[in-house]
Amino acid sequence: MIRVYPDPETASHAAARSVVRWAGEAIEDHGSFGLALAGGSTPRRLYELLATDYSTEIPWRHVHLYWGDERCVPPDDDRSNYGMVRTVLLDHVPVPPAGVHRIRGELGPERAAAEYERVLAQAISLDLVLLGMGTDGHTASLFPGQLDLTDPRTVRGVSAPAGVEPRDRVTLTLRGLEAFTAALFLVTGREKRDVVEAARSTAPSAEIPASCVSPARETTWIVDRAAAGETV
C-alpha cells in the first residue's frame, strides 16, 4: 500500500500516527511493542514528532526499540544511527534502558552482527520495522548487488559500496526484516522519484533491495508528492 502526502512534514506526521496505532494495537494484543528504527536523514523529523507532539500517545514503558542497521562507529559518533535516535528521541521519552536494543557497531561488523542476532532471537515481539530507501534502492544496509535472497541469518556484517561512508555496517537481512509483523517505509524528495517508481512497478528485484521486503502482514509506503512523481 502506498500513501502520498503533500510534503515531508505531513508524511512524517502520517508515519508518527502509524507508529502510535501500531504501538496501541501491539500492546493491547501482547503487552509490548517491538519497533525497529531506520537510520538516514529522512526519519529524523518523525523521531522528533514522536518525542514531542505524539509522546503522550505511546506507552513508552512497554516499548522495545531495535535498529534495522548500524554503522560501525562508536555510539557517540555523528554517523551512528543509535546516536541520532538518542539525541532526538531517547533523551526525551521514558523508554526504559532495558527496552533499548542498539546494535553495538563499535565491535566491528562480524562481532556486532553475531551479538545482534542473539538480541533479536530473544525479542518478546517484533511488530513494526521502519525503513528508508536510498536513491540506489538500498534499504537498511542491504545494497543492490549484495542482496542474498536465501541468506538464513537475520543479521549480517556488510561492507557498503565504495563511496557510501562509513562502509563497515551491520544490517538486518531480508529474513531479519521479515521477522517483524509489518514494515513502514518513509521516503521523501524528488531525488527518490525514479527509484520509488521502479520499486512500485517491478516485481521484487535484488537490484532494488527495498522492493524485496515483504513481512507477514503488510508493507506500507508513506511518500511525499515529490517522491511519488506528482507535480508539486
Q: Does 42 bind ligand 6PG (CB under 6 A)?
A: yes
- Rounded to a whole number of angstroms, the minimum distance from the CB of residue 30 to ligand 6PG is 27
Q: Does 32 bind ligand 6PG (CB under 6 A)?
A: no
Report strand pairing: 168-172 vs 69-71. Answer: antiparallel
Compute CA distances 13 → 162, 186, 207, whole Å.
34, 11, 30
Nearer to ligand 6PG, 27 or 36 (CB): 36
Among 138, 156, 193, 225, binds ligand 6PG (CB under 6 A): 138
CB distance 142 to 134 below 8 Å: no
Q: What is the 3-state secondary structure (H, E, C) of the chain?
A: CEEEECCHHHHHHHHHHHHHHHHHHHHHHHCCEEEEECCCCCCHHHHHHHHCCCHHHCCHHHEEEEECEEECCCCCCCCCHHHHHHHHCHHHCCCCHHHECCCCHHHCHHHHHHHHHHHHHCCCCCCEEEECCCCCCCECCECCCCCCCCCCCCEEEEECCCCCCCCEEEEECHHHHCCCCEEEEEECCHHHHHHHHHHHHCCCECCEHHHHCCCCCEEEEEEEHHHHCCCC
Among 6, 9, 28, 41, binds ligand 6PG (CB under 6 A): 41
| Residue numbers 51-110 binding ligand 6PG by CB under 6 A | 68-69, 81
Q: Does 224 bind ligand 6PG (CB under 6 A)?
A: no
- Rounded to a whole number of angstroms, the minimum distance from the CB of residue 161 to ligand 6PG is 12
Q: Does 140 bind ligand 6PG (CB under 6 A)?
A: yes
Nearer to ligand 6PG, 32 or 42 (CB): 42
Nearer to ligand 6PG, 33 or 67 (CB): 67
Nearer to ligand 6PG, 57 or 206 (CB): 206
Of 3-11, 138-146, 200-208, 216-224, the window that binds ligand 6PG (rule: CB under 6 A) is 138-146
- Rounded to a whole number of angstroms, the minimum distance from the CB of residue 29 to ligand 6PG is 27
Of 34-42, 96-104, 112-120, 212-220, the window that binds ligand 6PG (rule: CB under 6 A) is 34-42
What are the residues binding ligand 6PG (CB under 6 A)? Answer: 38-42, 68-69, 81, 132-134, 138-140
